[in-house]
Amino acid sequence: MASKKAHKGSGIAAGLFAAAIVANAGAGGPYYVLVLLAALAGRWGGTAPDWLEIAWWRSKKEYRGAARLWIKHRTVTHWGIPWVTLLIYAYVSLNSVWWAPVAFGFASGGIMHLLTDWPNPMGVPWIWRRHSLSMWRSGRLESMVIVLSWLGCALGADVMLAHGANTVRIFEFVAASV
């Protein structure tokens, strides 16, 4: 699994990307409150697959170590289908249900969590069985995970909001500098 730091950082990026989509769809609500809530929900969703496994209703005296989890790690809460389903349903409902922007941000963060866990040897169960990219071990390359998630979200927001104009300018600047 990626570290808590990587999940928080990439969750913030996913939340900001979700907030841009909500604002672009015109579902921001009065004073863009729902845009802000979508961004916050993305950060919260970025760690959700892990904290949803914890049996919070038990006292600390009742469990020791892994027994504090009510389900096995990287099973139901890390399954891709429910997260993608929530994302699609929330997106389709953006302008018709008041809570859809918040659910959209939360699902964006959850999917980003799965994407940051995917390169690890343990992998994530996207559709049926676990799949891993086997690129690095857990807790390694945190900074790269965070930077890549921010770059991906920034590129996506630029394509969506400015039709990629800023990305083209950056590539032209880099090409002229080399």
Please count the CA atoms within 13 angstroms of the CA of 156 that sit on its side-chain side. 17
When pLDDT is cut at 50, 70 and 90, the band that residue 121 belongs to is: confident
Q: Is pLDDT above 90 for 142?
A: no
SS (H, E, C) the chain: CCCHHHHHHHHHHHHHHHHHHHHHCCCCCHHHHHHHHHHHHHHHHCCHHHHCCECCCCCCCCCCHHHHECCCCCCHHHCHHHHHHHHHHHHHCCCCCCCHHHHHHHHHHHHHHHHHHCCCCCCECCCCCCECCCCCCCCCCHHHHHHHHHHHHHHHHHHHHHCCHHHHHHHHHHHHHC
> Rounded distance, CA 54 to CA 72, Å?
10
- Tens digit of each residue's pLDDT (9 = 90 or more) over 144-162: 888 999 999 999 999 888 8
pLDDT at 28: 83
Question: Mean pLDDT score of the chain, rounded to an integer?
Answer: 86
- Tens digit of each residue's pLDDT (9 = 90 or more) over 47-64: 999 877 876 666 666 555
Q: Dihedral (C-alpha) 99, 101, 106, 110: value to the nearest 10 degrees?
A: 130
pLDDT at 89: 97
Q: Is pLDDT above 70 for 164?
A: yes
- Tens digit of each residue's pLDDT (9 = 90 or more) over 4-25: 888 899 999 999 999 999 999 9
When pLDDT is cut at 50, 70 and 90, the band that residue 141 belongs to is: confident
Higher pLDDT, 72 or 41: 41
When pLDDT is cut at 50, 70 and 90, the band that residue 66 belongs to is: low
pLDDT at 67: 59
Question: What Rg do the C-alpha atoms of the chain give, in angstroms?
Answer: 18
Q: Is pLDDT above 90 for 106?
A: yes
